[in-house]
Amino acid sequence: MNGHRQLTIGLFGFGVVGEGLYKVLEQTPSLHATIKKVCIKNPGKKRNAPAALFTTNKSELLDDPEINVIVEVINESEPAFEIVSTALKNGKAVVSASKKMIAEHLTEILDLQKKYDQPFLCESAACASIPVIRNLEEYYDNDLLHSIRAIVNGSTNYILTKMFEDKIDFKQALIQAQQLGFAEADPSLDIEGWDALNKWTFLLTHAYGIVGKPEDIVFNGIQNIKLSDAAVAHEKNYEIKLVAQAKKLNNGKVAAFVLPQFVTHDDPLAFVKNEFNGVVIESSFADKQFFYGKGAGSFPTASAVLSDISALRYGYRYEYKKLYYHTPPVLTNDFFVRVYLSFDDWKRIPREKFEWIEEWHAGERKYLTGVIHFNHLKNDSWWKENNVSLILTPDTIIEDIEIRKLKKKSLELAGIMD
Ligand code: HSE
């Protein structure tokens, strides 16, 4: 695509993001981008745009030679993939916000981009207004990137903030997130961690060149977190956040997961409230960087779509340098984590699986902190069931080489060894 060429857009979807984009484009004539047609599912719904703009026939967009960009912001994953594949095959550039579709079809989307030599941009699919994908693509070399920790789901962060700071109950906070347009059509995707998992799956590709599947990554949402957990967090001077993280271990492999975590008050992620998202990147020479911005909602998401559209005018595309020009690291579950667990019944906790237990509190709602091999989380589900709540501690990852030393020390402390 030539620089400064007029962009004629075919837009799929006119929900929170689609309508936001329409309004934002109307206010940005300098972009030389116009929406020619909008394909929608339900023609009966009242829309805030001229009726002539809409169609229910997708080929009016996909087969129109004048349309050179397809912007796809629909909810359903499989129809979204169908649209993206056809658009790329038909020689059109694509901008997509469908995180679930991208995570589930990552390999195919990479192949389609190569085969049809067309750009596929998806900045809005992760962290909305924060340009995290372009940053990971362009700025950091794989070898230099030590770790990324991020809050990538606005709804769960909004709910946690409302519950623990404004003392609003879970259901009420969720209703607010839905009314504000942050939540997914099926909010269990947010609450149970699926949305964050999907985003993390393809962010790992841009960060490290890892092309994985969502099912490769251990995850949970915030559905099991109790007010009593918040009380413990408060006592220890922590906050609870749903954190997606990836860390390069000493053996060069990458540990990656999406789980609730206690964060200290000096952690930049503690500063991220409501629907905001945040990303903390640690690299060899830059040290620590923090990106912060709105991660959900109509205009913040539309702003990222707009930025992709603008980038297309200059022929921008992802090069996937870490995937194609380097040997990407592999994911590993061979490390240990320090966790906090709260539960009703001690019998539900397989204590033999712990390397050691550091803290133990009885009472109606019991809790412990201890160290466990990550494989026990990958292969079992007891920690997600039976009213058990698992929260990672701040410096959660313990590598193999450290474990013996720490084990000896903890046994000494327990008075078992001299
Ligand atoms: N439901 C998503 C969130 C929307 O809450 O983050 C933005 O991807």
What's the gap in Å between 296 CA and the centre of ligand 1? 5
CATH number at residue 29: 3.40.50.720
| Structural domain contains residue 324 | no
Domain count for the chain, please give it: 3
Structural domain range at position 39? 7-127
Of ligand 1's listed atoms, the one at least distance from the Cα of 301 is 7
Any atom of ligand 1 within 6 Å of the Cβ of 194: no
Q: Please check whether residues 107 and 136 belong to one and the same domain.
A: no
| Structural domain contains residue 320 | no
| Structural domain contains residue 341 | yes
| Structural domain contains residue 390 | yes
What's the gap in Å between 155 CA and the centre of ligand 1? 6
Closest CA to 242 of 163, 160, 175, 185: 160
Q: What is the pTM of this model?
A: 0.96
Q: Please check whether residues 351 and 283 belong to one and the same domain.
A: no
Any atom of ligand 1 within 6 Å of the Cβ of 183: yes
What's the gap in Å between 16 CA and the centre of ligand 1? 11
* Separation CA 116–CA 138 (nearest Å): 23
Catalytic residue check, 199 = yes
Q: Please check whether residues 81 and 202 belong to one and the same domain.
A: no
What's the gap in Å between 393 CA and the centre of ligand 1? 25
| Structural domain contains residue 197 | yes
Q: Please check whether residues 115 and 237 belong to one and the same domain.
A: no
Closest CA to 99 of 119, 130, 122, 129: 122
Any atom of ligand 1 within 6 Å of the Cβ of 124: no
Closest CA to 262 of 295, 235, 283, 288: 235
Of ligand 1's listed atoms, the one at least distance from the Cα of 182 is 5
pLDDT tens, N- to C-terminus, the chain (418 residues): 444 678 999 999 999 999 999 999 999 888 889 999 999 999 999 999 999 999 999 999 999 999 999 999 999 999 999 999 999 999 999 999 999 999 999 999 999 999 999 999 999 999 999 999 999 999 887 778 999 999 999 999 999 999 999 899 999 999 999 999 999 999 999 999 999 999 999 999 999 999 999 999 999 999 999 999 999 999 999 999 999 999 999 999 999 999 999 999 999 999 999 999 999 999 988 889 999 999 999 999 999 999 999 999 999 999 999 999 999 999 999 999 999 999 999 999 999 999 999 999 998 899 999 999 999 999 999 999 999 999 999 999 999 888 888 887 777 776 654 4
Measure the CA dihedral 395/398/401/405, to 10°.
80
State the catalytic residue, choosing from 58, 99, 100, 199: 199
Q: Please check whether residues 263 and 340 belong to one and the same domain.
A: no
Q: Please check whether residues 137 and 264 belong to one and the same domain.
A: yes
Q: Please check whether residues 165 and 252 belong to one and the same domain.
A: yes
Of ligand 1's listed atoms, the one at least distance from the Cα of 152 is 6
Burial bucket for residue 390 (CB in 10 Å: 0-12, 13-18, 19+) = buried
Q: Please check whether residues 106 and 203 belong to one and the same domain.
A: no
pLDDT, residue 418, reads: 42
What's the gap in Å between 93 CA and the centre of ligand 1? 24
CATH number at residue 176: 3.30.360.10
Any atom of ligand 1 within 6 Å of the Cβ of 123: no
Number of H helices and E strands in the chain, helices first, is: 15, 16
pLDDT, residue 416, reads: 57
Q: Please check whether residues 195 and 254 belong to one and the same domain.
A: yes
Spatial CB neighbours of 30, under 8 Å, sequence gap ≥ 6: none
CA-nearest residue, atom 4 of ligand 1? 296
CA-nearest residue, atom 7 of ligand 1? 296
CATH number at residue 394: 3.30.70
Closest CA to 375 of 351, 345, 353, 406: 353
pLDDT, residue 417, reads: 47
| Structural domain contains residue 1 | no
Any atom of ligand 1 within 6 Å of the Cβ of 155: yes
| Structural domain contains residue 123 | yes
| E strand or H helix at 231 | helix 227-235
What's the gap in Å between 182 CA and the centre of ligand 1? 5
Closest CA to 68 of 43, 14, 114, 32: 32
Q: Please check whether residues 189 and 106 belong to one and the same domain.
A: no
Any atom of ligand 1 within 6 Å of the Cβ of 220: no
Contact call for residues 246 and 148 (beta carbons, < 8 A): yes
Q: Please check whether residues 91 and 155 belong to one and the same domain.
A: no
Which residue among 190, 298, 303 is best mutated to probe the pocket of ligand 1, counting the most ligand atoms within 8 A of its Cβ? 190
Which residue among 182, 273, 277 is best mutated to probe the pocket of ligand 1, counting the most ligand atoms within 8 A of its Cβ? 182
Question: How far apart are the two ends of the chain, measured CA to CA in Å?
Answer: 71
Contact call for residues 308 and 125 (beta carbons, < 8 A): no
* Separation CA 223–CA 391 (nearest Å): 12
Any atom of ligand 1 within 6 Å of the Cβ of 295: yes
Q: Please check whether residues 22 and 46 belong to one and the same domain.
A: yes
